[in-house]
């Protein structure tokens, strides 16, 4: 099936994309990897009159460390995340999750920002980013119509020491001793918030 006719735009800056969005309002949709929006358009479940492609907008892709935080551009593909050496070392759950998404074609085109904006409850990134307490710029609480996801940021993990302590078995209420251990801890960190502001 073919989508309904639409006007296609490829802005070169975020400002241009936002101006197109405000010009065309509810008749417009941004597009990133096209892996969710185009199937919806082909089934005519989405019929935007104006489609604004974000792929030429600079600085929306890539994975970088900023002040101890990991920041991932919204247009970074699943494949780039899957292959990132930085993420393999620092936060391997991300490449692992990316490798389970769809097939190579979907992973080469689909983006983390598109997946979060699409917000399919069965998708991988919404679950992973929720579990990691990720900060998502522009959709901290909810994504309003016309908002653009520009950055997906993560805090850092570090190994902390848990001291031995006395406790109680929650089922039997008997006193127990809890051994000291090394445990992973997550630190969202001021640096991450600063990086996103
Ligand atoms: C065959 C197939 C198998 C798949 N399997 C899986 C799977 O196993 N697990 C999984 O999680 N997903 C799966 N997907 C979905 C895939 O991950 C998509 O890539 C993802 O859901 C959408 O990303 P996209 O970049 O393609 O977004 P698009 O399709 O371009 O856009 C999707 C929606 O997000 C909006 N949007 C896109 N980018 C932005 C942005 N930066 N800011 C604001 N709004 C934006 C668009 O307007 C649109 O409403 C599959 C898809 C297909 C076709």
- The rounded mean pLDDT for the chain is 84
Query: CB–CB of 68/47 below 8 Å?
Result: no
* 60-197 carries CATH number 3.30.465.10: yes
**pLDDT recorded at residue 15:** 83
Q: What's the gap in Å between 166 CA and the centre of ligand 1?
A: 48
Domain spanning 1-58, CATH architecture: 2-Layer Sandwich (3.30)
Residue 191 confidence class, pLDDT cut points 50, 70, 90: very low
Check pLDDT > 90 for residue 46: yes
* Stretch 58-80: mean pLDDT: 87
By C-alpha distance, which of 81, 80, 63 is closest to 72?
A: 63
* Stretch 62-75: mean pLDDT: 83
By C-alpha distance, which of 57, 40, 29 is closest to 1?
A: 40
Residue 175 confidence class, pLDDT cut points 50, 70, 90: very high
Instruction: Provide the whole-model pTM.
Output: 0.81
Q: Which residues contact 45 (CB under 8 A, 6 or more apart)?
A: none
Do the domains spanning 1-58 and 60-197 agree at the CATH topology level? no
Check pLDDT > 90 for residue 100: yes
Q: What is the pLDDT of residues 135-171, one digit of tens each?
A: 777 644 456 666 667 666 665 555 667 788 898 988 8
**pLDDT recorded at residue 90:** 84
Q: What's the gap in Å between 34 CA and the centre of ligand 1?
A: 6
What is the DSSP annotation of 31-96? ESS-TTHHHHHHTTS---SEEEE-TTSTTSS-EEEETTEEEEETT-BHHHHHH-HHHHHH-THHHH
User: By 3-state DSSP, what share of the chain in percent is helix, strand and coil, each rounded to 5?
Assistant: 35, 25, 40
Q: How many CB atoms lie within 10 A of CB 197?
A: 6
Q: Which residues contact 177 (CB under 8 A, 6 or more apart)?
A: 164, 165, 166, 167
Q: Return the best residue to mutate from 31, 51, 144, 147 for the ligand 1 pocket (most ligand atoms within 8 A of CB).
A: 31
Q: Domain ranges for the chain, please list them.
A: 1-58, 60-197
Please state whether beta strands 63-66 and 69-73 pair in parallel, antiparallel, or not at all (unpaired): antiparallel
Q: What's the gap in Å between 123 CA and the centre of ligand 1?
A: 9
Check pLDDT > 70 for residue 22: yes
Instruction: Say if ligand 1 is within 6 A of residue 102 CB.
Output: yes
Q: What is the rounded distance in angstroms from the CA atom of residue 101 to the CA atom of residue 104?
A: 8
The neighbouring-strand residues paired with 158 are: 185
Q: What is the rounded distance in angstroms from the CA atom of residue 179 to the CA atom of residue 176?
A: 10
Query: CB–CB of 136/116 below 8 Å?
Result: yes
% of the chain with per-residue pLDDT over 70? 80
């Amino acid at each position: 099936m073919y989508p309904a006719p639409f006007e296609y735009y490829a802005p070169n800056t975020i400002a241009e994309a936002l101006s197109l969005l405000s010009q065309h309002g509810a008749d417009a949709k941004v597009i990133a990897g096209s892996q969710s929006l185009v199937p919806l358009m082909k089934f005519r479940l989405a019929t935007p009159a104006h489609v604004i492609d974000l792929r030429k907008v600079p600085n929306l892709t890539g994975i970088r460390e900023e002040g101890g935080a990991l920041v991932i551009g919204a247009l970074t593909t699943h494949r780039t995340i899957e292959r990132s050496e930085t993420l393999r070392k620092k936060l391997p759950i991300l490449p692992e999750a990316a490798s389970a998404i769809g097939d190579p074609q979907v992973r080469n085109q689909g983006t983390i920002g598109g997946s979060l904006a699409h917000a399919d409850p069965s998708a991988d990134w919404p679950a992973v980013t929720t579990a990691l307490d990720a900060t998502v710029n522009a959709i901290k609480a909810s994504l309003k119509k016309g908002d653009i996801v520009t950055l997906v940021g993560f805090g850092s993990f570090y190994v902390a020491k848990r001291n031995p302590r006395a406790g109680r078995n929650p089922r039997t209420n008997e006193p127990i001793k809890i051994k000291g251990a090394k445990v992973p801890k997550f630190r969202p960190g001021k640096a991450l918030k600063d990086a996103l502001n």
